[in-house]
Structure 1
Amino acid sequence: MYTPARAKEDRKRKGSTSPFQIQTDLLLATGVKSCNLKKSKLHQSSITTFMSENIEPNTSYEYLETTMSDTEPQISDNPESSTPLSSTPVPDEAFTRTLNAVTLELSRAFRTPEVQNAIRPMITLILREEIDKFTAPLRKEINDLKYEISSVTLQLNGMLNERCDDLEQYGRRNCIRISGIAETPNEVVENKVIEVLKKVIPAITPSDIENSHRVGKPIMGNPKKVIVRLSSYKTKVIIMRGKKVVNSAEDPIYINEDLTRYRAHIFKHTRKSFKSNLINGCWTRDGKIFIRERKPDGTDGSIKRILSIVQIPGYKPTPEELLHFNLSQNIQSEPEATAV
């Protein structure tokens, strides 16, 4: 440590033992060590002038040395033997003036670009750490709220889509789709439909059909499908129960319920699962899709209603499909359901 005694020896070697000069060197050394600057940056002349104006000329160096050494805190390796802060001697007026001089010069030094550039990274790091401590809980809370909002949004969107799909399916309650009816030029679709449905209901008349027309495009040379809107729901139920008599090896015609695009997509994959012998049966009733599970020994299992494509045995869902399914309801067992 740069003490008054050391400062006095340095001045003796340089040819000057002025108390003010020695004390100035001591203050400069303290400021240089604190700020890591050159002495020229601390305005030595300003401290010398200040001390000359505020310290009496008859003040001896021994007085200043005694004051500085008495008030300088002693650091001990033993914490128990350290002098409490309250027992530190109060500096006298001369020391206070000297300390004020150092404080003034340090405040001037901190205004220089060199000092500001030197301490800016350290202050930035400290402020950043304190800001991070303060904002970390807020960021966590914001992220939790974002996740909760996203989950709620997905649930609401799923519920809204289900409700819209239910309403659309209800609008198709009296509709059926017939595939396999051959197309001919200038055909009357209604007459062909009545001819097919008479195999199920011989007494059917044109008044039982509100509307019928072809939809879609021909697939692999097959004719377009025909949508038929029946005048009553009871007529539709009778047709769906006896639809198997329509199909024949010579003229394959299939009658199915008119499903929404979403439910038709699900039913398509259930039929693939049935063809792969993963389930023992699949069908629809009033727009609802059912499967009969297959036991390990190949016998019939329980009947399940399929609400999502994720539930189909053998189907490999995408992560997005799994997410939407986890936010919705699981498979519902309906043991009372029977095949149509």
Structure 2
Amino acid sequence: MSNSNTHGDTLDSTLVDRNCVNNQQSQHSMPCHNTPQPSVHLTVSTIHDLHTHYASFITDFDLQRIVHTLRSSLRDEIPLLNEISGLKLSVKTMCNQVAVLEQDLDDANQYSRRHCVIVSNVPENEDESTDGILKQIAIDNGSNIVLSDIDSSHRNGPPKKNDGKHRDIIVNFTNYKAKTDFIKS
């Protein structure tokens, strides 16, 4: 008994009585093996054709169901996609606004810093007065700066432990002339 998988070969072990198949389909009570009828040899191509026919029937039904599901899903997703597009546009607009505001803030800070000077390498002492230190530096260098020319001054950052480095002094002068006089000295 040899079953061949080659297209067109007959399957020797598969003999089907045509009336038996018809009787089973019409549900007659006549036994199939008692009725002598011509038999049909099922070939691989016949089985393949039957398989293809039933597979396409199932596939068409499945495809219809999938298409219906996809259409429903897309109907639900289209408003979401539109909303996402709108949100992306809003985010882009806000990012541009933030960039403009950051530039404006930087310009404003730069203008406020135009009266500032950073003084480095000045030894630190406990209970020091940075205004007094700056006044002494101005006197030592021949500048005519008075305390009223200094709006504010302080050390930059938190106190450091004894690492040998001194924090810078940031001084904000009341006017640009006082700043240039201090720098020139």
Q: Which amino acid aligns with 1:235?
A: A
Question: Deviations along 1:132-164, whole A, 9 cap, x unmatched?
Answer: 454565454333323222211211222223333
Alpha-carbon offset, residue 209 of structure 1: 1.8
Structure 2 equivalent of residue 208 of structure 1: 149
Structure 1 equivalent of residue 91 of structure 2: 150
Kept in 2, the 8 Å contact 1:201–1:239? The answer is no
Kept in 2, the 8 Å contact 1:214–1:225? The answer is yes
Closer, same or farther: CA 237–141 of 1 in aligned 2, 3 Å:
farther
Closer, same or farther: CA 200–152 of 1 in aligned 2, 3 Å:
farther
Kept in 2, the 8 Å contact 1:177–1:226? The answer is yes
Task: Name the SS of the counterpart of 2:91 in structure 1.
Answer: helix
Closer, same or farther: CA 14–210 of 1 in aligned 2, 3 Å:
closer
Structure 2 equivalent of residue 228 of structure 1: 171
Question: Deviations along 1:191-217, whole A, 9 cap, x unmatched?
Answer: 221222346552222232233222313
- Report which structure shows greater RCO (CA 8 Å, sep ≥6): 2
Query: Aligned partners of 2:65, 2:107: CA distance in 1, in Å?
Result: 59
Query: Aligned partners of 1:163, 1:201: CA distance in 2, in Å?
Result: 38
Unpaired segments ≥5 residues, structure 2: 1-21, 31-53, 55-60
Q: Which amino acid aligns with 2:71?
A: E
Identity %: 19
Task: Name the SS of the counterpart of 1:172 in structure 2.
Answer: helix
Query: Aligned partners of 2:140, 2:72: CA distance in 1, in Å?
Result: 81
Moved over 6 A (4+): 120-123
Query: Aligned partners of 1:124, 1:201: CA distance in 2, in Å?
Result: 93
Query: Aligned partners of 1:148, 1:128: CA distance in 2, in Å?
Result: 30
Structure 2 equivalent of residue 131 of structure 1: 72
Q: Which amino acid aligns with 2:99?
A: G
RMSD: 3.7
* Length-normalised TM-score, structure 2: 0.52
